[in-house]
Structure 1
Amino acid sequence: MKIQGKMFLWLSFFFLIMAVVYGAWSKEPAGTTALFLAFGLSIMVGFYLGFTARRVDAGAQDNKEADVADDAGELGFFSPHSWQPLALGVGGALAFLGVAVGWWLLYFAAPVIVVALWGWVFEYYRGENRTQ
């Protein structure tokens, strides 16, 4: 992760230089703002990766002598399936449709969003993990 963090920090400096040059040359606010936002995003990702690399063990990608097979194995837990993102997407679509059609549609979208978000957050606190 150290290498990726350094790459994003170098990329952020590139975005900063390009934002200043583009803003001075073109006097166009939308592209300049987008480049400054890309600078901020690169700083955030680079800082996160650098901060996380200090807290976890070095991976195979940080070892110059490592082979491809050294990075094999389990990488973590990933949810096999979940219906909650679909329900949250339907609720979000209804909410945005409410902006175009009428604000009354938000009365139907808000409960769908709340129930889907609640279900997604707590989907692994059911069954044997449930507290009584």
Structure 2
Amino acid sequence: MKFQGYMFAWLAAFMLVVAIVYGLWAREPVGTTALFLSFGLALMIGFYLIFTARRVDTGAQDNKEADVADDAGELGFFSPHSWAPLALGAGAAFAFLGPVFGWWVAYFTAPLLLVGLWLWVFEYYRGENRTQ
């Protein structure tokens, strides 16, 4: 994970240089803004990966002597089934149709988005997993 963090940090530095050169040379605000936003995104991802790599154990990808089998095993907890991403995806799809057909579409998609977000946040606070 540390290698990926440094890779994104170098990418962020490269994007910053490109954004500055492009901004001074082309004097075009849209492309310059996009390059600066790309710099910020790469910097955030790189910082997160480097910060997380310091707190967790060294993974097999950071060990030069590791085999493929060293990275086998449980990778984390993933929800076995959830309807919330489907509701959020449908709500987002309809919300992005709002500027096309009219902003009145947002009135109908807002409840779908809120229900999907509610389901996703509280999906483990129902049934036998409910806290008292």
What is the TM-score with the length of structure 2 in the denominator?
A: 0.88
Offset of 1:70 from its aligned partner? 0.6
Offset of 1:72 from its aligned partner? 0.9
Distance 2:55 2:130 in 1: 31
Coordinate RMSD, CA, aligned: 1.7
Letter in structure 2 aligned against 1:49: L
Is 2:119 the partner of 1:119? yes
Offset of 1:24 from its aligned partner? 1.7
**SS class of match (1:66):** coil
Tell me which residue corresponds to 2:79.
Answer: 79
Uncovered stretches (5+) of structure 1, i.e. residues with no partner: none
Offset of 1:97 from its aligned partner? 3.6
Tell me which residue corresponds to 2:49.
Answer: 49
Distance 2:60 2:30 in 1: 41
* Deviates further, 10-19 or 80-89: 80-89
Offset of 1:96 from its aligned partner? 3.7
Question: What is the percent sequence identity of the aligned residues?
Answer: 74
Distance 2:28 2:102 in 1: 35
Tell me which residue corresponds to 1:58.
Answer: 58
What is the TM-score with the length of structure 1 in the denominator?
A: 0.88
Tell me which residue corresponds to 1:5.
Answer: 5
Distance 1:128 1:107 in 2: 35
Any idea what the Cα deviations from partners look like across 1:54-77, whole Å, max 9, x if unmatched? 110111111111111111111011
Distance 2:96 2:66 in 1: 49
**SS class of match (1:82):** coil
